[in-house]
Amino acid sequence: MTAGGRASASTSSDSYQAGFAQRWSNLHHPRVRALAWLLDAPDLLDPAAPHWQGRIATLGPVTAGDADWLAALDLDPAPLDAALGERHYSRLGLYAEKLLAFYFASRQTLVAHGLQVRASRNDTVGEFDFLLRDGAALVHLEFATKFYLLDAATAGADFNGLIGPNLADTLGAKMRKIFDKQLALAQHPAAQPLLPQAVDRAQALVKGWLFYPHDQSPGVTPGISREHCQGFWMPLAQVVDLPGEQFCIMPRLQWLAPLKVPTGAGMDREALQAELDCQMAQVSAPVMVAVLRQEGEWLLEQRRGFIVPDDWRDRAAQNRRDGKLP
C-alpha cells in the first residue's frame, strides 16, 4: 500500500471490462471475482493529485502471488465463504469491507477491522475501517466503494456534480466527511487506549464506478483517476436507444466486478424493457443494467449503466433546492 500511482495492467477506462475478462478469465465464483476487482480496479481518485494532499491510498499492483491466491480461492472458496459467514449483506459497502478484510488478514497486515471508538456507552465517536501494519508503521485506512452519476457538464472542483443514484449524497460531500471527521479519529482521546501505537498515517482508499450521461463523452476531472471504472446512465424513456442484444439487471452485491453469468441468464431488449417498467412502477429508483456479450458458455459484461426514472434529474435539482444535496 502506497500513496503513489498504480502501476497495474489495467486497460483504458472505456474498456476496463474487456481487460478484466482477459486478466481474470479463470475466475467464476462471484465473491472471488468481487475480491479480484477490489485488488485490480483503478483507484477512483488519483492518489498523486495535489487536490488530495497525499491523503489517498492505493493498494498498488496485483502481484503474481495475489493472482495465484485468487485462482486457488476460485477453485476452493470455502475460506472466503467462512470469513463472510452466512449473513445476508444488504449493504454493498459492508460486503466490500469484509472482502478486503479477508485479503488483509491473509497478508497478515490486519490489526483491526471495524474498531468502534466510544466516548461512553451511549456515545459512539466513530469507527476505524482498518488498522494495518506497514512495516513498523500503523496505518489507519478509511475505505469506500462508491457509485456516482454525473449530473452536470463536468464534476466541478467540489465534486458535487457527482451524485449517488439514490440522490442522498455526492462525491464531494463523502470526501469532506472522510477528510474532516473520519481520518481524524485517531486524534480523539477516546481512541488512544484502543491503539497499539500512534497512527503513522491516515488515508482513504476509494474504489468505485462513475456513470456519465449516455450521450456525453466523459471529460478529464482533476483529482479523478484517468483510468477509473466508468459506465453510462440514461432515462427509462431512452432505453430503446441502448445498443446491445443481451442484457442483465445486476443484483446489488454484484455491482463490484464486471458481471459473468452462464449463457441463458441474459434477456433480450423486450424482456429488459418489461422488467424495468415493472421495477420502476414499484420503486421509482435507478436500476443497474449490464450489456452482455457471449464468450463460450458465459455471458460477459461489455458495458454497464444505470437506467434512471425519467424525472431523476428533476428530483436531483429539487433536492438541491431543498438543501438535501450540496
User: Can you give the chain as a three-state secondary structure string?
Assistant: CECCCCCCCCCCHHHHHHHHHHHCCCCCCHHHHHHHHHHHCCCCECCCCHHHCCCECECCCCCHHHHHHHHHHHHCCHHHHHHHCCCCCCCHHHHHHHHHHHHHHHCCCEEEEEEEEEEECCEEEEEEEEEEEECCEEEEEEEEEEEEEECCCCCCCCCCCEECCCCCCEHHHHHHHHHHCHHHHHHCHHHHHHCCCCCCEEEEEEEEEEEEECCCCCCCCCCECCCCEEEEEEEHHHHHHCCCCEEEECCHHHCCCCCEEECCCCECHHHHHHHHHHHHHHCCCCEEEEEEEEECCEEEEEEEEEEECCCHHHHHHHHHHCCCCC
pLDDT at 1 over 60: no
Give the pLDDT band of residue 46 (cuts 50, 70, 90).
very high
- Give residue-wise pLDDT tens across range 50-108: 999 999 999 999 999 999 999 999 999 999 999 999 888 989 999 999 999 999 999 99
pLDDT at 258 over 90: yes
Full-model pTM: 0.93
Angle at 148 between CA 229 and CA 26, to 5 degrees: 30
Indicate the range of 12-21, 105-114, 127-136 predicted with least confidence. 12-21
The CA distance from 244 to 266, in Å, is 11
**Count of residues in the chain:** 326
The CA distance from 102 to 69, in Å, is 12
pLDDT at 188 over 70: yes
pLDDT at 22 over 90: yes
Query: What's the pLDDT score for residue 5?
Result: 32
pLDDT at 157 over 70: yes
pLDDT at 2 over 80: no
The CA distance from 249 to 272, in Å, is 8
CB 202 within 8 A of CB 142: yes
Query: What's the pLDDT score for residue 88?
Result: 86
Query: What's the pLDDT score for residue 13?
Result: 41
| CB neighbour class for 81 (10 Å; exposed up to 12, middle 13-18, buried from 19) | middle
> What is the average pLDDT across 225-240?
96
Query: What's the pLDDT score for residue 7?
Result: 31
Average pLDDT along the chain: 93
| All residues at 6 or more sequence positions from 91 whose CB lies less than 8 Å from its CB, including other chains | none
